Structure 1
Amino acid sequence: MTFGDKQKLILGYLKAYNSLDVEGMLRFLDEDIEFENYQGGELTHQLEGKANFEKQANEALAYFSSRNQRAVNWTEKGESLEVEIEFQALAAVDFPNGIKKGQFIQFEGKSIFEFRNSKILKIKDFS
């Protein structure tokens, strides 16, 4: 896949994510999708398979009344693409870390995407 092909997949995925469109997100994912989330360098969530991803993505819809991820920088590393992300959201629930319902959340992070058969195979999120 070319850099442009990878970028189109990620931008399509992010557009669906920002629109709270789980079905749209799934269109860009390989059946064997792997997802990992790291906070402060520690693995906090991990799942495998499209069905598990769909379940988690649908559950996560309740967490934010609005959300937006924006890609601000792209770095190709071999077959993967590392993307610096700006994240903004409005919390729809109280979170265990002290964030309250209605609170505006903003942070920067990065996501590493891996690919197979013109789909996203793995997503590693770091914040």
Structure 2
Amino acid sequence: MVNAEKREVIERYVDAYNRFDVDGMLAMLAPDLLFENVSAGQVNAAAHGLVEFRQLAEQGASLFTERKQVIKAWSFRPASVLVTIAWRGVFAVDIPDGPRAGSALELPGESEFEFDGARISRIVDRS
């Protein structure tokens, strides 16, 4: 798969994420997907396979009234694609000991994507 094709798959995945379209996200993923979300160096969410990923994605979507990832930079590596991301979300619910509903959060981060054929097989989100 050439870099332009990888870029298109990632852009379609991010577009689906931004639209809260879980089915659209899943369409870009390999059945045996490995997903990790890493915050401050600690894995705080993980999924193996589409069933677990769907559960995480639906849970995450329910926390926000709006959310958006904007890709700021691309780095094509031999085994992966690293994208620098600006992320913004507005909470739909009060988070225990955390932000209140209506609060906005902005985070810089990066996502690393690996591929199996034309589908994403591994995602590591870091913030």
Q: TM-score range by the shorter chain?
A: over 0.9
Secondary structure of 1:38 counterpart? strand
- TM (norm. structure 1) is 0.96
For structure 2, the 5+ residue unaligned runs are none
Aligned-pair CA distance for 1:95: 2.1
For residue 109 of structure 1, what is the amino acid of its counterpart? G
Partner of 1:87: 87
Which structure 1 residue ranges, 5 or more long, are not aligned? none
Give the distance between the partners of 2:48 and 2:96, measured in 1 at CA. 25
> Could you say which residue in structure 2 is the equivalent of 1:64?
64
What letter matches 1:43 in structure 2? Answer: V
Deviating above 4 A after TM superposition, structure 1's stretches of 4 or more consecutive aligned residues are none
Partner of 2:124: 124
* Number of aligned residue pairs: 127
2:38 aligned with 1:2, yes or no? Answer: no
* Alpha-carbon offset, residue 97 of structure 1: 5.3
* TM value normalised by structure 2: 0.96
Q: CA RMSD in A?
A: 1.0
Deviation, 1:20, is: 0.4
Give the structure 1 partner of residue 106 of structure 2.
106
Q: Which residue of 1 aligns with 2:78?
A: 78
Aligned residues with identical type, % of pairs: 34
